[in-house]
Amino acid sequence: MDIFNPMLSLLSIIRFHCLLLVLNLLLPTIRCKIPTTLDGPLEPVTVPLDPNLRGIADDLPDTDPRVRRSVQGFEPEQISVSLSATHDSVWISWITGEFQIGYDIRPLDPETVLSVVHYGLSKHQLEHEARGYSLIYNQLYPFEDLQNYTSGIIHHVRLTGLEPSTLYYYQCGDPSLQAMSDIYYFRTMPISGPQSYTDRVAVIGDLGLTYNTTTTISHLIKNKPDLVLLIGDVTYANLYLTNGTSSDCYTCSFPQTPIHETYQPRWDYWGRFMQNLTLKVPMMVVEGNHEIEEQAGNMTFAAYSSRFAFPSQECGSFSTLYYSFNAGGIHFVMLGAYTDYNFCDQYKWLKRDLASVDRSITPWLIATWHPPWYSSYNAHYREAECMRMEMEELLYSYGVDIVFNGHVHAYERSNRVYNYSLDPCGPVYITVGDGGNREKMAINFADEPGYCPDPSTADVCTTNFTFGPAAGKFCWDRQPDYSAFRESSFGHGILEAKNETWALWSWYRNQDSYNEVGDQIYIVRQPDTCYLHQMARRHRFAMI
In three-state secondary structure terms, 168 is strand
d(CA 367, CA 331): 8
The alpha helices in 224-344, defined as continuous H runs, are: 265-278, 302-307, 312-315
DSSP run (H or E) holding 213:
helix 211-222
Q: E strands along 222-313, which residues? A: 227-231, 283-286
Nearest CA among 159, 162, 158, 140 for reference residue 150: 140
d(CA 390, CA 408): 21
DSSP run (H or E) holding 234:
none
**In this structure, is the dihedral angle defined by the CA atoms of residues 28, 31, 32 and 35, taken in order, positive or negative?**
positive
**Residues whose CB is less than 8 angstroms from the CB of residue 88 and which lie 6 or more positions away in sequence, other chains included:** 160, 161, 162, 163, 164, 188
d(CA 417, CA 83): 30
Question: Is 370 known to be catalytic?
Answer: no
How many Cα atoms are found within 13 Å in the side-chain-facing hemisphere of 33? 5
d(CA 239, CA 243): 12
Q: From residue 519, how far is each of 34, 216, 277, 432 by CA, in Å?
A: 9, 16, 24, 12
d(CA 413, CA 421): 15
Q: From residue 309, how far is each of 83, 282, 496 by CA, in Å?
A: 8, 11, 25
Residue pair 290/303 in contact by the 8 Å Cβ criterion: no
d(CA 269, CA 500): 40
Residue pair 359/192 in contact by the 8 Å Cβ criterion: no
Judge residue 438's burial from the number of C-beta atoms within 10 Å of its C-beta, 0-12 exposed, 13-18 middle, 19 or more buried. buried
**Residues whose CB is less than 8 angstroms from the CB of residue 33 and which lie 6 or more positions away in sequence, other chains included:** none
Residue pair 366/429 in contact by the 8 Å Cβ criterion: no
d(CA 412, CA 44): 11
d(CA 120, CA 131): 15
DSSP run (H or E) holding 418:
strand 417-418
d(CA 21, CA 241): 61
d(CA 507, CA 318): 33
Q: Which residues pair with 327 in a beta bridge?
A: 330
Of 156, 380, 409, 492, which one is the catalytic site residue? 380
Residues designated catalytic: 380
